[in-house]
Amino acid sequence: MGLISLKEKRLERMKTMLSIQLHHISGLSYAQLSYMKFSQ
């Protein structure tokens, strides 16, 4: 029982980390796109 819950917690943490990284990357790409638009 305890082992399964530990794996679940680890999975949830990885999910949140991935979502944060994806959000960060999408934010960066959006900023770059807007910057390219302004520079032209």
* pLDDT tens digit sequence for 2-34: 788 999 999 999 999 998 888 888 888 888 888
Residues 14-34, buried b or exposed e (16+ Cβ, 10 A)? Answer: eeeeeeeeeeeeeeeeeeeee
Q: What is the largest CA-CA distance in the chain?
A: 59
- SS3 sequence of 4-36: HHHHHHHHHHHHHHHHHHHHHHHHHHHHHHHHH
pLDDT at 14: 94
| Domain boundary assignment for the chain | 1-40
| pLDDT tier, 1 (very low <50, low <70, confident <90, very high otherwise) | low
**pLDDT for 12:** 95
Higher pLDDT, 11 or 37: 11
The pTM of this model reads: 0.53
